[in-house]
Amino acid sequence: MKTIVKSLILCALFTLNVNAQKQPNILWIITDDHRADALECYNQATTGKKESSIGYVSSPNIDKLASEGVLFTNSYNNSPACGPSRGSLVSGRYPFRNGHYAFELTHQNPDFVKPSFLQTLQTKGYKTALFGKGDSYIFKWGPGQGYRDAGLYNFKVHFKHDLQKNNIGDLWGHDVYDKNGKWKKLGTQETAKLPNGEMISYYTKRANGNLTSEDLEKRAQVEKKFEILRGYKRYNKNLIFGGENPMPAGETVDGKLVYELKSYLANADKNYKTTWGKTVKGADSKKPLLVNLGFHLPHTPVLPPKEFRDKFKKTKYNIPEFNRKQLDKFTPQMMRYYKNLNMYEMDEKDKLQAIQDYYAFCAYGDSLIGDAVEAFKKYNKEHNQEYLIVFTVGDHGWHLGEQGIEAKFTPWKQSTQGAIIMVSSDKTKVPAGVVNNHMVEYVDIAPTILTSGGVNVASKEYNYLDGISLFETLNSPKQKRDYIVGEISLIAGHRAYIRSKDFSFSMRTRPQKKSAPNENIKWALNCPVEKAELALYDLRTDPLENNNIATDKEYRKLADWFRNRLGNIVLGDGRIECDWSKANTYNISNFAKGAHNGVLNIPTHLIPEVN
């Protein structure tokens, strides 16, 4: 009898182990404002050189990760800003189909909303955890809105809410409120934390408009000590585009995020204390795990630790050239990008520092990513479980002088292109050492991770997903799509973009005047062409997008064709505009249903020949 019981126990344990193997643990890494050319492996795959077109970069840990799996070099986000990009990532839907175009406080109450892929994984047995920046701006509905956790993650360590509010970090900005009564905003402060624990805080903006002499003195002290470089003259004068991190490597806010992740994995199935003294429980080794590691870097404030900054401080770079004659062909929206996000007005010394410190910050991120990946692999090895690692290189890109700006927010390549690296412990699913140049979009992340988690995304239940699983792309000899699309409404109003192998096109999609959901939805198709603000680039001769040819005689008909093609896709094929201040008020536009079919088919007579 004892032998039979023992055998049954062993059989049960074996069954549990087999079941665990069916659903791999998933590590989803996202960096912020991260250019793909900060990766040597990306540059090597696309240009044959390790350095970027600007100069030296360093990414040994990411290069190693790429060598273990597939590097997707032709990856594009669907909105070049944190909130709408991450909203499209977790929903698996384009901004024009989830109604999320900027930093709206979206919620899941409207009946058109579907679960995030994270919530779907939870129903399949996964425990989901976030370390760092999530910021998909998806909340629970409540009158007046505000921060209400939608439950995307079972466990969270947020860089603002858990670390910085407990004075764990380096140098950060934060709003200050009078907590008595009506929570009146008093202003915005910066706080610098020094290695000895000293905190230096000062206002950068006061509600009454008057900074004190103490504010100015402390700010000057910090700026001098850490060689702080401020950026824009118009949009946000307090943004930090360069300088030395007050804290050493590993002790920055991103370093602490990795430390917390490692603690969570190392303390599986038991209680432990976080850096700020809270008792929490580690990973549940009996459940499949999805971890979203959301780095803040290399987002502003761009502050690499001294150890990394010193390696880049004397490096010379090819500062991107900008010819002011380009402005002659900028549309009004594009001029607003240029005026608000200007880098051209910096002197050469500041431009160089901005580039040096940016790539140094990326190199520091590479080190942290290597540390996190090794800890994740160790967890899987100890628990005899399979894994999938997906690295989204930047929720969007970053300009370092291209088009005269230092920014994101635009339809140009530097804002919209990134890269994706995918690695599996099972090389039959994701082979090692592969470079894939097929055109992929960030909405592809959701069906990819769902597929890995055992979800059949081909079933009707998931037909709301806009993306294509990267497993399909990986196993297809042909491109799965001819173009990518996206839309943004920040800085200069609504602007949508479409990009193919040979052309890049963008246009204003909604009038500047705020309207009711989908009111006058065909405006961009019917208004005078100059109001639609067309921008067209022939990538065959102008890969850097320096010459807008939309009004050139030989390209006008092609630009008009793109206007109708893109307009029908983003305005007429399931476009949603929602009043997020209300529980369930929205409109869906379907006047061109089926327009977004992934096939471009430009009439050949519209395409000018080039030498």
Q: What pLDDT score was predicted for residue 180? A: 72
Asked if 121 contacts 453 with a C-beta cutoff of 8 angstroms, the reply is yes
Q: What pLDDT score was predicted for residue 182? A: 67
Q: What pLDDT score was predicted for residue 2? A: 45
Output b/e per residue, 44-61; b: 16+ Cβ within 10 A.
bbbeeebbbebbbbbbeb
In tens, the pLDDT along 228-268 reads 999 887 788 899 999 999 999 999 999 999 999 999 999 99
Mean pLDDT over residues 508-514, rounded?
90
Q: What pLDDT score was predicted for residue 92? A: 98
Q: What percent of the chain is helix, strand and coil (3-state, nearest 5)?
A: 35, 20, 45
Q: What pLDDT score was predicted for residue 146? A: 67
Q: What pLDDT score was predicted for residue 15? A: 42
Taking only Cα atoms into account, the Rg of the chain, rounded to an integer number of angstroms, comes to 24
Residue 88 in this model has a pLDDT that exceeds 90: yes
The pLDDT-based confidence of 145 (bands split at 50, 70, 90) is low
Q: Looking at per-residue confidence, does 178 or 543 come out higher?
A: 543
Q: Which residue ranges form the domains of the chain, and what is each CATH number? A: 25-474 (3.40.720.10), 484-606 (no CATH)
Least confident segment among 43-52, 226-235, 346-355: 226-235
Q: What pLDDT score was predicted for residue 9? A: 42
Distances (CA, A) of 260 to 208, 250, 308: 39, 11, 22
Q: What pLDDT score was predicted for residue 379? A: 98
Q: What pLDDT score was predicted for residue 181? A: 57
Other CB atoms within a 10 A radius of the CB of residue 2 amount to 6
The pLDDT-based confidence of 10 (bands split at 50, 70, 90) is very low
Q: What pLDDT score was predicted for residue 232? A: 81
Mean pLDDT over residues 356-362, rounded?
98
Angle between helices 82-91 and 445-452 (to 10 degrees): 40
Q: Looking at per-residue confidence, does 10 or 554 come out higher?
A: 554
Least confident segment among 307-311, 367-371, 515-519: 515-519
Residue 8 in this model has a pLDDT that exceeds 70: no
